[in-house]
Amino acid sequence: MNVADYAGTNSYWMPFLTNDNDVDTIMSHLRTSGQKILRIWGFNDVKTVPGSGTVYFQSFSGSTATINTGSNGLQRLDAVVKAAEKHGIKLIINFVNNWTDYGGMAAYFSACNVSNNAGWYQSTKCQSLYQAYIKAVIARYRSSTAVFAWELANEPRCNGCQTSVLTSWIRKTSDYIRSLDSDHMITVGDEGFGLAGDTTYPYGYSEGIDWAANLAVPNISFGTFHLYTEAWGVAANKTFGQSWVAAHAAVCKKLNKPCLFEEYGVTNKAEHCSVEGAWQKASLGLKEEGMAGDLFWQLGDKVGSTGQLTHDDGHTIYYGSEDWKCLVDQHVKNIG
């Protein structure tokens, strides 16, 4: 991956839409807006099979997992991949969630007899189930022109663990993915915790992450980091974000691997353009110093078949809105 600058976004919800035309229309909006990369959830795990029409990708029962390849299963992910191919959008496909939304690691717990995420990372049974799912997804999309990168997890953490737990898991998982696919990039999907430069919580190692050590793992192709100042209890201002971007870019440059500013946002809508715009500018200003692009959290749009807007978590930037004009249209123009 050459260090260039790409603009993109995140949509956890797109693979869960049930109308192909809706997916195609929203993907076309990304294309015409100059967005290059879309990060999506490639997981949707359940412990009980839901009613007809509800989308899920994998279900757990007893000590086994069943992958749903039906019309309310991975065929919904198929529609996203197909639309991305059509519109020239590159996808980052994520395999599991640290959080319990859409099942996450917790959906595996009963099947592999663990009680927390720390156990999940270290359980042979959990990892066997997880790798079986990875294998199924990669086999399905390995030849797609839309795949940009495979991603280990959404925001993996191991609170209170030795950092070696996650580094070992990242090494083993990325080696496994590479054994299945020699062509596509692989990344972690983490928040960027655990690096030198500050004494505030995000820079610390309490979540079991040594960011530089994890990025140095041979089969990790590029670094990811996120930024949520409000959730992390640090000043929700431009300055912290600018320093956060610069700190990660410096590590990426040292290790000769690009950085992707993969998620960021503030919930104060009045600060969407001013604060997030400053963070984008900081990232763009370091494109020769380790940065390769940024993906705002999160994409918002109107679903044509229902007329409803997609989920607004406070961070959402809706297609065509005033916030979109500054954080997408202007940003893409600045990239050139």
The predicted-structure confidence for 6-38, as pLDDT tens digits, reads as follows 899 999 999 999 999 999 999 999 999 999 999
pLDDT for 97 beyond 90: yes
Say how many C-beta atoms besides its own lie within 10 A of residue 140's C-beta: 17
Domain extent for 176: 6-335
1 falls within a domain:
no
User: What Rg do the C-alpha atoms of the chain give, in angstroms?
Assistant: 19
Cβ-count burial of 280 within 10 angstroms (0-12 exposed, 13-18 middle, 19+ buried)? buried
Position 235 scores a pLDDT of 77
128 falls within a domain:
yes
pLDDT, tens only, 47-95: 999 998 899 999 999 999 999 999 999 999 999 999 999 999 999 999 9
Instruction: Evaluate whether 327 touches 280 at the Cβ level (below 8 Å).
Output: yes
* Nearest partner of 111 among 42, 58, 150, judged by Cα: 58
78 falls within a domain:
yes
| Catalytic residue selected from 155, 191, 207, 262 | 155
Distance CA 57, CA 97 (A): 13
* Nearest partner of 324 among 67, 121, 29, judged by Cα: 29
Query: Looking at residue 277, which CATH number applies to its domain?
Result: 3.20.20.80
| Known catalytic residue at 151 | no
Sign of the Cα pseudo-torsion (284, 286, 291, 292, in order): positive
The verdict on pTM exceeding 0.95 is yes
pLDDT for 296 beyond 60: yes
Q: State the pLDDT confidence band at 2, using cuts at 50, 70 and 90.
A: very low
pLDDT, tens only, 177-225: 999 999 999 999 999 999 998 899 999 999 999 999 999 999 999 999 9
pLDDT for 3 beyond 60: no
CA distances from 142 to 74, 76, 146 (A): 14, 17, 9
pLDDT, tens only, 247-259: 999 999 999 999 9
Distance CA 336, CA 332 (A): 6
Q: Where are the beta strands (DSSP E) in 250-314?
A: 259-264, 291-296, 299-300, 302-303, 308-309
| Catalytic residue selected from 191, 207, 262, 263 | 263
Sign of the Cα pseudo-torsion (294, 298, 302, 304, in order): positive
Distance CA 125, CA 19 (A): 36
Instruction: Evaluate whether 74 touches 67 at the Cβ level (below 8 Å).
Output: yes
Q: How many domains does the chain have?
A: 1
| Known catalytic residue at 207 | no
Beta bridge partners of 223: 259
pLDDT for 280 beyond 50: yes
* Nearest partner of 273 among 300, 232, 238, judged by Cα: 238
DSSP notation for 322-335: HHHIIIIIIHHHHH
